Structure 1
Amino acid sequence: MGKTFTVNETRIPKFNSPQDLLEGKRLYQSRGCGDCHDVDGSGKTFINDPAIGTISGANLTAGIGGILKDRSDEELAIAIRHGVGKNGRALIFMPSTDFQGMTNEDVGKLIAYLRSTPAVNKEQGEIKPGPLGRFLYLIGEIPILVSAEQIDHDVKHLENLKPTVSLEYGKYVAATCTGCHGMKLVGGPIQGAPPEWPHAQNITKVGLTHYSENSFIQAIRTGKRPDGSEMKFPMPWQSLSKLTDTELKAVWMYLQSI
């Protein structure tokens, strides 16, 4: 966990129009950033378990205790996509495997939105993996604890990707599901989750036999499955409901292909 990584900076485009900032906000919401960094970006403790550990998201604002003033856009992009922070240090429990494929344009709009938000004075919460968390990491059950180990740091990022109902775009958006549903999206125990959390569902074609495209989109929008049952925590349907129709249709197409 004390490992350092060398990541070359990629130039991140700058955005400041109201439309681009609104898109950055939607990306923040729909990709689940608020689940760890709170709705206002000030960070919060999202796992507090004696065995697993205490894990808190950083304050992403320019307030006291926040990191925004001390990071360039390029450094923030490395943290988001590579799980690597200041001075090359590995970020603990940053799910960068979800975001490693984000385009320069999307990352730029996300960062522009963060820089537009009000400063919040809030010190960084505790980050302290517990004994069980360390053991599970050691045997390879929580690779997300140091996601930087799972990522190709020499990859060349796409500049942009046009939103279309296509397999390519569906795979791009569905990457945000891998943190809970696994890299193959077959579900199972959620990495680092306390034992009382339910397992993630298989969301490949086999696991979605009771869904149609319409009912899948409706479930993400409302948090209710086709049989009327409610999706329970930690399924972040409230965040995913911010996905556009194009994104959800593309995700459905991709999930049906695997």
Structure 2
Amino acid sequence: MILLLSVFVTAVYLISNNRMGKTYSVKPTPVPKFVSNQDILEGKRLYQSRGCGDCHDVDGSGKTFIDDPAIGTISGANLTAGKGGILNDRTDEELAVAIRHGVGKNGRALIFMPSTDFQGMTNDDVGKLISYLRFATPVDKEQGEIKPGPLGRFLFVIGEIPALVSAEQINHETNHLQNLKPTVSLEYGKYVAATCTGCHGMKLVGGPIQGAPPEWPQAQNITKAGLSHYTEVSFIESIRTGKRPDGSEIKFPMPWQSLAKLTDTELKALWLYLQSI
């Protein structure tokens, strides 16, 4: 039994190491640069509303967001120009590849970068987000530990935590849109809903959250069936206030504080799209 267990553990580590160590060739896409206060503020809003701070902290300096002996220790990078940050060592195009493809410098796969949420981001939105990071205050902070644990590796190998290497899930030949006009439409609602897929799944029907500790609740079904007790007004109100129509609080890990930064147009479009599923 000890021998079989040793072989099993060794196989899990070899397979996971091979997949995590894989490199990808991604053709960089030119990213527009923005300097106006309005565009920098929009980049900041995108950073906040798309949940970047959940892994990279509110100031972009990075933080440890999973620390579990079984799942592993996973930390977001310092995205500032401070000591320990990556900003000075990356071009805008390399940052865009990291955001949308989950691929870092020299083509290496990034660990637990949820790029499936951001693979459809337009060039303009990515450009504004990166421009905001360039203007943000530098923070001196060294990179936290990135060390997938035994259970995290096993779940990754059997397909339960695909986000551990999101680069495996993405079409790296995709042509990115230059921009997409914010409108209350199904197209724009689907664009906004991509932010929700990391926790609620690609079909948005909820279930266990990838890589989450066992004490975390499952993500809820946010399709039309799962939101049957909401109206557009109460849905938007819940996102804004963190309270459901019955008065109960929306608790962690639902990042309603980040989503509250979405505009009225984004939330109305998101509601319209979710109701179409």
Give distance in 1, aligned partners of 2:135 and 2:58: 14
2:27 matched residue in structure 1: 8
SS at the partner of 2:238? helix
Percent identical residues: 84
Q: How does 1:114-193 map to 2 (within 5 A)?
A: 114-193=133-212
1:88 to 81, 103, 107: 107
Distance across 2 between alignment mates of 1:90 and 1:13? 24
**Unpaired segments of 5 or more residues in structure 1?**
none
Q: Which amino acid aligns with 1:18?
A: N
- Shift of residue 86, structure 1, vs aligned partner: 0.3
Shift of 1:250: 0.1
CA–CA separation in structure 2 for the residues paired with 1:206 and 1:137 = 29
Q: Deviations over 1:88-139 (max 9, x none)?
A: 0000000000000000000000000000011111000000000000000000
Moved over 6 A (4+): none
Q: Is 1:234 equivalent to 2:253 in the alignment?
A: yes
Q: In 1, Cα distance between the equivalents of 2:28 and 2:118? A: 16
In the aligned structure 1, how far is the partner of 2:274 from the partner of 2:257?
A: 20
The answer to whether structure 1 residue 104 and structure 2 residue 123 are counterparts is yes
Determine helix, strand or coil for the equivalent of 1:47: strand
Deviation (angstroms), 1:43: 0.1
Corresponding residue for 1:56? Answer: 75
Aligned 1:243-254 pairs, distance under 5 A: 243-254=262-273
Indicate the residue corresponding to 2:8 in structure 1.
Answer: none
- Correspondence for 2:215: 196
Q: Over the residues paired in the alignment, what is the CA RMSD in angstroms?
A: 0.3
Tell me which amino acid in the other structure corresponds to 2:231. Answer: S
The number of aligned residues is 258
Partner in structure 1 of residue 237 of structure 2: 218
The alpha carbon displacement at 1:79 in A equals: 0.1
One-letter amino acid of the counterpart of residue 209, structure 2? I
Question: Aligned pair 1:24/2:43, yes or no?
Answer: yes
**TM superposition score normalised by structure 2:** 0.93
1:12-60 Cα deviation digits (max 9, x unpaired):
0010000000000000000000000000000000000000000000000
Q: Distance in 2 between matches of 1:114 and 1:22?
A: 11
Structure 2: stretches of 5+ with no match in the other structure: 1-19
How far does residue 214 in structure 1 lie from its aligned partner after superposition? Answer: 0.2
Q: Which amino acid is 1:221 matched to?
A: R
Greater Rg by CA:
2
- Distance in 1 between the 2:263 and 2:117 partners? 18
Please report how far the alpha carbon of residue 164 of structure 1 lies from its aligned counterpart in structure 2 after TM superposition.
Answer: 0.1
Distance (Å, rounded) in 2 between the aligned partners of 1:4 and 1:228? 48
- Cα deviation digits, residues 199-231 of structure 1 (max 9, x gap): 000000000000000000000000000011100
